[in-house]
Amino acid sequence: MHYNIISSGSKGNATLVISHKTVILIDMGITLTRLNEGLEEEGFKISDIDALLITHDHADHISGLRFLSPSIIYALEGTLPTNSHVIEENIPFNIGDFTIIPFKVNHDATNPCGYVVMDDTDKLVYMTDTGTFYAHNLSFIKNPTYLIIESNHDIKMLLETDRPTDLKNRILSDHGHLCNEDSAFISLEIIGDKTKEITLAHLSLEANTDELALSTYRKVFKYKNVDIYRYLVRCAKQFSSLRGGKYED
């Protein structure tokens, strides 16, 4: 299994997950041009996408839906007013080489979720756009090979922005976004002996930096006596791809 985070952040989100010949796309909040560029990096074209999994109904995750057929779109009930496939929280379903489990997150959207994506050797957990972490999800998201998790903001930077107070409060709330510290502590709950990569996603362009997010992770892991250098820890980008996972020879 390997992945390509084509774009991650408030200006658009899209991530490819690939195993053998199965290609799934998580969210489509980018332009068709940018999607095609990401697909070309992996040697695929748009007709090769087997499924599009939607996490929630905010524009930065669904603005490009019109470029893909509803017949390949999957989402929890109420997320999309289309004839897409309705899936159920915590109920596995199969797409090609993948077994996929949607799980509930807490965000100010209609019915938001994250995804566990598994093939015959690896497990990927994708969890962005959530203000809290539901511990009951641990039973099936624990110990992934690859963890893609939101690390949206540095609290001090967020409070110093010129954003309206209502927006700051919304981001800081339980139905907003994870700050760097919360993201790091949650990651420590999720990772295990099989984990190889941790990718920090959905970083704010105004209220965070790669350096701050990674520095916070290092401090939290050290505080919990966990060697962060056992893992490949990186930050996903808004305007360029980040590739990870195990590529076949």
Which pLDDT band, with edges at 50, 70 and 90, does 81 fall under? confident
Mean pLDDT of 176-191: 97
**Whole-number pLDDT of residue 247:** 79
In degrees and rounded to multiples of 5, residue 236 shows phi and psi of -70, 160
Tokens of 120: 């015959």
For residue 209, pLDDT over 80 is answered with yes
Q: What is the pTM of this model?
A: 0.97
Domains assigned to the chain = 2-244 (3.60.15.10)
What average pLDDT does the chain have?
A: 96
Tokens of 180: 């760097």
Under 8 Å between Cβ of 233 and 222: no
For residue 225, pLDDT over 90 is answered with yes
The answer for residues whose C-beta is within 8 angstroms of residue 89's C-beta and 6 or more apart is: 76, 102, 103, 104, 113
Proportion of the chain above pLDDT 90, given as a percent: 95
- Amino acid symbol at 173: S
Note the pLDDT tens digit of each residue in 103-147.
999 999 999 999 999 999 999 999 999 999 998 999 999 999 999
Can you spell out the DSSP letters for 157-195?
HHHHS---HHHHHHHHSTTS--BHHHHHHHHHHH--TT-
For residue 248, pLDDT over 70 is answered with no
| 248 or 51, which is more confident | 51
**Whole-number pLDDT of residue 83:** 76
Q: Return the closest-CA partner of residue 194 out of 103, 126, 123, 102.
A: 123
Q: Return the closest-CA partner of residue 72 out of 2, 23, 137.
A: 23
The Cα 15–Cα 151 span in angstroms is 16
In degrees and rounded to multiples of 5, residue 134 shows phi and psi of -85, 110
**Whole-number pLDDT of residue 249:** 52
**Residue reference for tokens 């897409």:** 84
Mean pLDDT of 186-192: 97
